[in-house]
């Protein structure tokens, strides 16, 4: 998979697509967002997930020190649904637009209050002139070296041989939550009612009926590309291997994710510098687990140069395979799983 972060609108159509068909069925799934779109810089979902442990350390699964034995604490780590005070503010809801500012009202409230997209669009940087944010859509990476699989003492989590999809066998799962702690991306969710672990199933029932993944087909920004790595003609492989414009999210976790991101470019701020600090992008993205920060920065600069060069070619009336792929005029340019 490749997600082009230059095109994500933060519309959450992907999130709601997944919620509608998979996690709106059973009790205990309300807080589960197998697909979530978080604002960066921001704390993500669950809160500060990249600091909660997981992945591999010294060849072994790192189960993390946070909330050992009780992870996840649903309210503390994921928060609860929240509302805006529309009725106070919006005339359409009977309010007075001058009455007060729109603000979130979490339930339960308090200093530790948090929820999915709590820090939506807050961003970072000096205001005015140099502030920024961007969207980071996330799903399970269906890793080549999945820590969730390695962490499970019951062999309940497994990777399908035919297509690499990582699944939880609900009949074998006993709800120990080692997979939740072992996944560094925190993309396994514990169903508090069923007492079982659940995660993105890569829409395998759809694939088996010749339908592409729902969050991919519903993506309004057309940012999502999918294909098998065995097909060199698939655009995912052209973006990753030929054009080399896509990188991995936190590859240092050691799970060998199969979701790549094209890092977001930004116009200069009023200080003449890149608006999104490249150091922050290099914190998020790398090519492999051993790559140092300086090499990551050099790679991101290289990617931006490639994108700018190819854009300039097209602007001057020329042709560019890369820009054609990124524009993705038809669904067939993006959704290339050979389901036959
Ligand atoms: Fe497992 Fe998915 Fe987490 Fe990778 S991202 S470790 S496959 S749950
Ligand atoms: Fe971004 Fe596409 Fe999801 Fe909209 S549907 S938030 S554009 S990934």
Atom 4 of ligand 2: nearest residue by CA position: 11
Number of neighbours of residue 278 by Cβ within 10 angstroms: 17
Smallest CA separation from ligand 2 atom 3, residue: 14
184: helix, coil or strand? coil
Round to whole Å and give the CA distance between 313 and 328: 17
Mean pLDDT, the chain cut into blocks of 10 residues (340 residues total): 97 97 90 96 94 93 79 80 80 80 69 79 84 96 98 97 96 95 96 94 95 96 95 96 98 98 93 91 98 98 98 98 96 88
> What is the pLDDT at residue 114?
83
**258 CB less than 6 Å from ligand 1?**
no
- Answer whether 147 contacts ligand 1 (Cβ < 6 A): yes
Please tell me the residue having the least CA distance from ligand 2 atom 2. 219
Q: What's phi and psi for 180, nearest 5 deg? A: -65, -40
- Dist. CA 300–CA 172, nearest whole Å: 42
Query: For ligand 2, is residue 14 a contact (CB within 6 Å)?
Result: yes
| Predicted model pTM | 0.94
User: With contact defined as beta carbons under 8 Å apart, do 186 and 199 qualify?
Assistant: no
Three-class DSSP category at 215? helix
pLDDT the model gives residue 288: 98
- Gap from CA of 226 to ligand 1 centroid (Å): 17
């Amino acid at each position: 998979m490749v997600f082009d972060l230059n095109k994500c609108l933060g519309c959450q159509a992907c999130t709601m697509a997944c919620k509608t068909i998979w996690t709106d069925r059973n009790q205990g799934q309300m807080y589960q967002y197998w697909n979530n779109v978080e604002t960066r810089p921001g704390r993500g979902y669950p809160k500060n997930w990249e600091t909660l442990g997981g992945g591999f350390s010294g060849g072994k699964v790192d189960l993390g020190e946070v909330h050992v034995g009780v992870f996840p604490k649903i309210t503390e780590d994921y928060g609860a649904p929240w509302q805006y005070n529309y009725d106070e503010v919006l005339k359409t809801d009977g309010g007075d637009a001058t009455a007060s500012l729109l603000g979130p009202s979490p339930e339960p409230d308090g200093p530790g209050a948090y929820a999915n997209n709590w820090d939506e669009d807050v961003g970072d940087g000096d205001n005015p002139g140099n502030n920024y944010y961007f969207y980071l859509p996330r799903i399970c990476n269906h890793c080549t070296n999945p820590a969730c699989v390695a962490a499970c003492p019951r062999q309940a989590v497994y990777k399908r041989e035919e297509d690499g999809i990582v699944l939880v066998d609900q009949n074998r799962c006993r709800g120990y939550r080692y997979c939740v702690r072992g996944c560094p991306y925190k993309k396994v969710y514990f169903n508090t009612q069923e007492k079982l672990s659940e995660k993105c199933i890569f829409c395998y029932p759809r694939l088996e009926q010749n339908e592409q993944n729902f969050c991919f087909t519903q993506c309004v920004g057309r940012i999502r590309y999918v294909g098998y790595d065995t097909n060199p003609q698939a655009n995912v492989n052209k973006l990753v291997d030929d054009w080399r414009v896509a990188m991995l999210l936190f590859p240092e976790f050691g799970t060998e994710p199969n979701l790549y991101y094209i890092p977001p470019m930004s116009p200069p701020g009023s200080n003449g510098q890149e608006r999104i600090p490249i150091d922050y992008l290099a914190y998020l993205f790398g090519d492999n687990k051993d790559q140092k920060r300086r090499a990551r920065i050099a790679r991101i600069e290289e990617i931006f140069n490639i994108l700018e060069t190819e854009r300039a070619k097209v602007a001057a009336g020329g042709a560019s395979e890369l820009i054609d792929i990124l524009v993705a005029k038809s669904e067939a340019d993006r959704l290339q799983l050979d389901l036959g």
